[in-house]
Structure formats: C-alpha cells, structure tokens
Structure 1
Amino acid sequence: MHIVVLPGDGIGPEITAATSEVLSTVSERFQLGLVLEEHAVGHASLAQFGTTVRPELLDLAKAADGLILGPTATFDFKDEARGEINPSRYFRKTLDLFANIRPARTYPGRINRVGEFDLVVVRENTEGFYADRNMEEGNGELRVTQDVVISLRRITRQCCERIAEVACGLAMKRRKRLTIVHKANVLRMGDGMFLDICKATAARYPELAVDEVLVDAVMAHVVRDPGRFDVLVATNMFGDILSDLTAELSGSLGLGGALNMGTRYAMAQAAHGSAPDIAGQGIANPVSLILSAALLLDWHGVRSGQPRFVSAAVAIETAVAAAIGQGQATRDVGGALGTAEAAAAIAARLQT
C-alpha cells in the first residue's frame, strides 16, 4: 500500500512522525508492505514552493492508495492568489471526499462523566454552509453592503443520497441503529430534502432501527446519554460540530480519528487543528492521527479485498485502547508521556 504523507503545520510534523512509527510497526507485523512518501504542505510548502499545495500533489495523491494529512494552519491561508490554499478543503473538494467518518468512544480505565459509548458521526463533507466548497466558482458568502453578509447553503439530492447510503451501510456493520440529525422544522426545504432522502434510503435496509432527531435535541441527548446512539448522519456543519462534541466527550479531541472518503480516494486527517501554541514541545497527543490512519487501512482493506489491512486497523485501535487504559498516554488524557513516547507505547503493543 502506497500512502502519501503530508505533515502540515504546528504539531503536524510531530504527530505525523508518531503515526508513521505506528504504521511501520503494524506493516511489519501484518506484512502490509506500506510505503510512506512524505511531501511538504502548508507553511513549509509555501516557503519552499510559493504555494501551500503544489499542483503535483494532486497527481501524487491520485496515484497512491491513500493520503494522510497532518493538521495545517488553515486560518493563516486567506488568499489563494498568493498561494495560500487551504490544504484540507483542496483535497476534500478535488478528490470528492464526500463522507467524513468520525468515530468516538470511551476507553476502559479512564473516568468519564457521561457513561460508556461507542458511536460514529457520518458527516456530509462537500457542501452545506461551507462557503469555500459549495460553489463551482467563487465563494458561498456575499458581502451585500458593509453591514450585510449573506451566506449560502447548498444541499443537493446527489450528496444527500450518497451520504445516506454510506451511513446506512456503516450502521448495518455495527449495531444497526441510525439517527438522522436535521433541522427540518426550520430549514424546511434543505433539511427537509435531506431528511426525506435519508429515510427513503434507510427504508431499503429493513433491519435498521431508524430515528430522526433535531440537531439541538441531539446535542442535549449526546451530553446526557451518548450510549443511546450508534451511527448519526448529518449535513456538513451540523456534523462538524456534533463530531467535535462527541470526540471531546470521549476524553479529548485528541482521541477523535477521522477519515475523509469518496468513491475512489480517501484521506486520513486528525480531528483537531495545528495547535501552534504547543508545537515543538513534544507534548501533542498523536492518537487522533493514528486512529485516522487505522481508518484508512480499514478502508483500503475493504475496498481492495485484503483482510490483513482490516486486521491491522483493528490491532491499532486495540493497542491505542490498551495504552490509554493503562495511562500510557499524553497529559490531555491523564497520562504523563510525550508525543513520541505515547506512540512508542502503542507501537510496542503491536509487536506482540
């Protein structure tokens, strides 16, 4: 399996190096033959090439079996005419990575305030209120006057149908429970269509238990009793907020893995940002990107019909849980290890 690795900004290079160590270890154990090809992106690329994302990277990503993107300083990149391209948006849009898969779970050995849970947020990834990706040309935000801004939300039948299909398929592999998250009582046309399509898609899976919950009510229920949920499907912005919340409820945003997937391509990406305030200190939690890489291995294994990649993904998740459960983790989740040491503790469990 050939993976293009883009370390990114801030803590990106640190947690990417940690993830590469874990991948090298699991590759040797399961004979995956992983080839990790690293390239600059973000500020490092801007300094070297005059752009945060070289055009050649798209061809490299398409030729590879998967992509790993470390956190990038997205807020810094405002003017594409000056080469300041948002790497996350660029790859999600150009590779049509329409589904953002965000698992969240609690870990034995860690105290949590909301009870045990294991759920997945399936988020539509290419339209909605995200102004930088919902237009063929231009931007979805308009400044009408100095004091008036209009933000446009795009909802399409195609995008609703394919994200609903992904969510139903995932729920069928888990506990066969699907929750449709929406605000159709107010956004009657956009969320109304999303809700109708999700329900129609789920109807083709008679074994699924399906419910629908308003997004504000879902937030309250998740805080009170996240264990009631299995797979939740939502439009882009609602899914973004909900998945950050569920990751934090599991113990830290640093535990939230994420996979951006489409029909042909997939990109592993940590759920959090580049955290420049702690960059270079060796204290960042590498688990989010490690779990994201595990999701990428699983995707490749299922897509290519190679079960050893699926087994490797399960082994990584098991090793992460064991390390966290025994306190061999970074400070944000109750441990005392640095970034490299936390990765080494996970890698050590993959050698046995």
Structure 2
Amino acid sequence: MSKIPATLIPGDGIGPEIVDATLAALDALGAPFEWDRQVAGLEGVKTANDPLPPATLASIRRTRLALKGPLETPSGGGYRSSNVRLREEFKLFANLRPAKTIIPGGRYDNIDLVVVRENLEGLYIGHEHYVQIDDDPHAVAMATGINTRAGCRHILDYAFEHAIALGRKKVTIVHKANIMKALTGIFKETAEQLYEEKYKGRIQMDTIIVDACAMKLVLNPWQFDVLVTTNLFGDILSDLVAGLVGGLGMAPGANIGADAAIFEAVHGSAPDIAGQGKANPTALLLAAALMLDHVKRQDLGDRLRRAVDQTLNLDQVRTGDLGGKASTSEFTRALVARIQAGG
C-alpha cells in the first residue's frame, strides 16, 4: 500500500492525548498515512513564537492533508485564531460537520444530519473596527460581512454534490434573508438559481430562516437531512446539532478546499483536564475516519467508525463525559482490540 504524506498537529491541552489515541487506532487499521509532525496554537507560540509557524504551513502545502487536535485561541486579545488562519491560507471553503447518534437512549435518538458551513466569507472575514466618541475609544463597534456570488456557488455546489454522493434526500438552505436582505439574500438567491440549473430532479431542496431552523432542530431534528448555510449561522447550528448527539466530544469536522483538506476535533483544548487521562478521543477518531474517506479509503473509515460504535456500545467502555469510568488510554486499548479483532 503506497504511503500518503499527511501533516499531524497534536495541538494544545488534551490535543496530544487524543491524537495519540487516534494514531494508535490508525496504526491498528494499517492506515496509509506517513506523518509529518508540526505545531500550532499555543504550542506554536511556545516553541516557535508563532501560533502558526512557517514550517507548519510549508508542511501542509506539501502534503495538502492534515489531522489536527484542538488549538488554543485566547478570548479578546492575544493572537488571531489559528483555525481561521488555516482556513484562509489554504482556501478551505467548506466546513463539513456530520452528526450521527452513536450512543442510543439519549434525549434525541437516531440523529443523522450533516451541516455544511461556508468557511471563508460572511461576518467572519474579520473586517472590524471601533469608532471613538469623546474619551471612549470603544464607543462604537462595527463589523462588515461579505458574501460573494462565486463564494455562495462554491459552497452550495459542494453541499449539493456531497449530499447526492452520500445518497441523501434533501438539502435545506438556511438564511436570514428576511432581515439581512443583501448579505444572506444573495446566498438564498444563488441556491435557488443553482437548484434550477443543476440539481432539480436529482435531490430535494427547501429554504428556512435560521431562527426557525434552530427551533425546529430542537423540536423535530428528524425533518432535516443536509443543512447548508453561511459562516456565522453554520458555526452556531453545527454546535447545536452536535448537542443532539451528545456534545462536541462526539463531533468531527472536515475543512475542505480545492488544494488541501484539514480534519479536526471541533471541541476546545480543555486545558483543565489536560494530562489527566480523562479526554474522550471520539471526535478526533471520527475526524480521522472522514480523512480516510477523503483519501478514498472508506473501507478503513467504516471499520474505524464500526469499532468506535462497538467499543462504546457492546463493550460499554466509555470515558467520564459519556457516563463511563474509562481513562483515555483504557478506551484506546479497548478500541484497538476491537479493530484487531476485525470489528
């Protein structure tokens, strides 16, 4: 099996622990990745005085593929999010956030949703400034959001094609065109045009205002299949959807561009439990499964997802956040045993 070069960023806080667990599972699968280990986030600041060191960027440019643990970003001041910078640097326009029930019996069951979030435009472009009035330098805060026709088409095309490839039945366009008539109106308008041009008859499409979507996701999430939306709404709704399946500890993420793809656990670095063996590696394991799908090894991705399911449900080996008593290493050993047993 030919090796596939890939960049590995262990990240901050619990990142190294969940990355080690994921590497153990990938090794047991015989996954084809050849890792180039790099740093970013707080670890990048500590070791290279840069939250996104040039060597890390060069590695991803070379491999065009990366798996990363959570990176710490200070609130307020400090440095800008390395995650946002990575998306911009490699034009990772699509953020893919699947949410599927693994542990049954929760408040919601049989959830199987995909949120596709636009990653580069909207209100997250970072065009912000303050206006001083009298002696208050922060008297007025202003932000500019930008959505382009080309950017909308790019993410909508991806969402429709991805949904069709997965055999999904419906794509729901989430917007706020009743209030932000231009900024999100262009997204809704482009979706309707694109659907008429290319996708009508191939898959169903509907549209919904974001606040109504949030309410309906809580009341009856099973009415949705694939949701596609702009940057800010996608950030919020993807976390809401993760809550339906047990929280961010169960939520993998993929950032897809034309020339690179970065796979991640979407939860934070949880420095309060770092090094204590309490971390749940499930989100990063599921992200690694998405990474295997991406490199056309869905057979291995499916084996990994099946082994995670069996470890949690048949073996009942779970970390504390899932109501169990297993440490990170105990969960990892049980998972590796499942993989080796042909799970």
Give the aligned length. 329
Q: Which moved more, 1:68-77 or 1:146-155?
A: 68-77
Structure 1 residue 65 displacement after superposition: 4.5
Residues 183-332 of structure 1: matches in 2 within 5 Å? 183-203=176-196, 204-205=198-199, 206-301=201-296, 309-326=297-314, 327-332=316-321
Q: 1:176 aligns with which of 148, 169, 190?
A: 169
Q: Which moved more, 1:251-260 or 1:316-325?
A: 316-325
- CA distance in structure 2 between the aligned counterparts of 1:253 and 1:86, rounded to whole angstroms: 19
Structure 1 residue 233 displacement after superposition: 0.1
Q: Are residues 224 and 8 of structure 1, via their aligned partners in 2, closer, same or farther at CA, if it must alter by over 3 Å?
A: same
Instruction: Indicate if the aligned counterparts of 2:122 and 2:183 stay in contact, CA closer than 8 A.
Output: no
Residue 135 of structure 2 corresponds to none
Q: Deviations over 1:212-255 (max 9, x none)?
A: 11111111111111112111001011011111111111012100
Residue 116 of structure 2 corresponds to 122
Instruction: Indicate if the aligned counterparts of 1:51 and 1:85 stay in contact, CA closer than 8 A.
Output: no
Equivalent AA in structure 2 for residue 149 of structure 1 = A
Instruction: Indicate if the aligned counterparts of 2:42 and 2:73 stay in contact, CA closer than 8 A.
Output: no
Instruction: Indicate if the aligned counterparts of 2:99 and 2:113 stay in contact, CA closer than 8 A.
Output: yes
Gaps of 5+ in 2: 133-137
Structure 1 residue 115 displacement after superposition: 3.2
Is residue 142 from structure 1 mapped to residue 129 from structure 2 by the alignment?
A: yes
The SS at the match of 1:75 is coil
TM-score, length of structure 2 as denominator length: 0.92
Residue 19 of structure 1 corresponds to 22
- CA distance in structure 1 between the aligned counterparts of 2:337 and 2:194, rounded to whole angstroms: 43
- CA distance in structure 1 between the aligned counterparts of 2:158 and 2:131, rounded to whole angstroms: 38
Q: Among all aligned residue pairs of Structure 1 and Structure 2, give the percentage whose two residues are the same amino acid.
A: 37
Residues 54-65 of structure 1: matches in 2 within 5 Å? 54-65=53-64
Structure 1 residue 114 displacement after superposition: 2.5
Instruction: Indicate if the aligned counterparts of 1:254 and 1:285 stay in contact, CA closer than 8 A.
Output: yes
- CA distance in structure 2 between the aligned counterparts of 1:85 and 1:36, rounded to whole angstroms: 26
- CA distance in structure 2 between the aligned counterparts of 1:169 and 1:41, rounded to whole angstroms: 32
Equivalent AA in structure 2 for residue 288 of structure 1 = A
- CA distance in structure 2 between the aligned counterparts of 1:186 and 1:163, rounded to whole angstroms: 22
- CA distance in structure 2 between the aligned counterparts of 1:298 and 1:77, rounded to whole angstroms: 36
- CA distance in structure 2 between the aligned counterparts of 1:344 and 1:252, rounded to whole angstroms: 23
Instruction: Indicate if the aligned counterparts of 2:111 and 2:244 stay in contact, CA closer than 8 A.
Output: no
Is residue 38 from structure 1 mapped to residue 37 from structure 2 by the alignment?
A: yes
- CA distance in structure 2 between the aligned counterparts of 1:225 and 1:98, rounded to whole angstroms: 29
The SS at the match of 1:51 is coil
Q: Deviations over 1:152-173 (max 9, x none)?
A: 1111111110110111012112
Q: Are residues 243 and 171 of structure 1, via their aligned partners in 2, closer, same or farther at CA, if it must alter by over 3 Å?
A: same
Structure 1 residue 15 displacement after superposition: 0.9
TM-score, length of structure 1 as denominator length: 0.89
| More strand as a share of residues | 2
Equivalent AA in structure 2 for residue 210 of structure 1 = M
Q: 1:153 aligns with which of 139, 145, 160?
A: 145
Q: Are residues 87 and 230 of structure 1, via their aligned partners in 2, closer, same or farther at CA, if it must alter by over 3 Å?
A: same
The SS at the match of 2:172 is strand
Residues 79-118 of structure 1: matches in 2 within 5 Å? 79=78, 84-107=79-102, 109-118=103-112
- CA distance in structure 2 between the aligned counterparts of 1:85 and 1:183, rounded to whole angstroms: 27
CA RMSD of the aligned region, Å?
A: 1.6
The SS at the match of 1:126 is coil
Instruction: Indicate if the aligned counterparts of 1:202 and 1:208 stay in contact, CA closer than 8 A.
Output: no
Residue 350 of structure 1 corresponds to 339
Residue 52 of structure 2 corresponds to 53
Instruction: Indicate if the aligned counterparts of 2:91 and 2:257 stay in contact, CA closer than 8 A.
Output: yes
Is residue 166 from structure 1 mapped to residue 158 from structure 2 by the alignment?
A: yes
Q: Which moved more, 1:112-121 or 1:261-270?
A: 112-121
- CA distance in structure 2 between the aligned counterparts of 1:61 and 1:234, rounded to whole angstroms: 27
Instruction: Indicate if the aligned counterparts of 1:181 and 1:214 stay in contact, CA closer than 8 A.
Output: yes
Structure 1 residue 3 displacement after superposition: 1.4
Gaps of 5+ in 1: 302-308
